[in-house]
Amino acid sequence: MENLQIGIEIDNGQMVGYNIDSEIMNGLYSTTEKLKVEENIQNFNIIIEKQGDSVATKMSKRDNVVIITIVIDDENKLQYLVGKDLNIDDIKSSNDFPSELKPLILDAYNLTNVASLNDLLG
């Protein structure tokens, strides 16, 4: 499979490639391949702790995007990248997108509009 990436600026100002598998719609990307998710977790210093059999979810704001990391178990990990350019009405009205993920996507979208300390200092 082709290695698709989006450049994201990290805390030190360096651009790092974020691995994606597909574009769901403008401003929303998914990564479902385990090795790509693990590389993203490492590259963007995402700390996610899974407890027991529960599903672990973490939202991480980087630059103007939010990375949603979901860990089901050691073999099943996925991520969504949510950008400011996402048309939130498309998510709300979509029947193709799982309804249990919509609140996560909406929360992540709202975070893209919240200034981080780096935004204020930069």
pLDDT in tens, 10-59: 777 788 899 999 999 999 999 999 999 999 999 999 999 888 889 999 99
Q: Is the pLDDT of residue 122 over 70?
A: no
Distance of alpha carbon 76 from its chain centroid, rounded? 15
Q: Is 24 helix (H, G, I), strand (E, B) or coil?
A: strand
pLDDT higher than 80, residue 1: no
- Average pLDDT value for the chain: 87
Task: Answer whether residue 116 shows pLDDT above 70.
Answer: no
In the chain, the largest separation of any two C-alpha atoms, in whole Å, equals 41
90-122 in b/e form (b: 16+ CB < 10 A) is: ebeeeeebeeeeeebbeebbebbeeeeeeeeee
Query: Does 101 score more than 50 pLDDT?
Result: yes
The confidence score (pLDDT) of residue 120 equals 44
Question: What is the percent of the chain with per-residue pLDDT over 70, rounded to a whole number?
Answer: 92
Provide mean pLDDT across the span 93-110.
88
pLDDT of 107 higher than 50: yes
Taking residues 81-107, what's their average pLDDT?
89
Percent above pLDDT 90 for the chain:
58
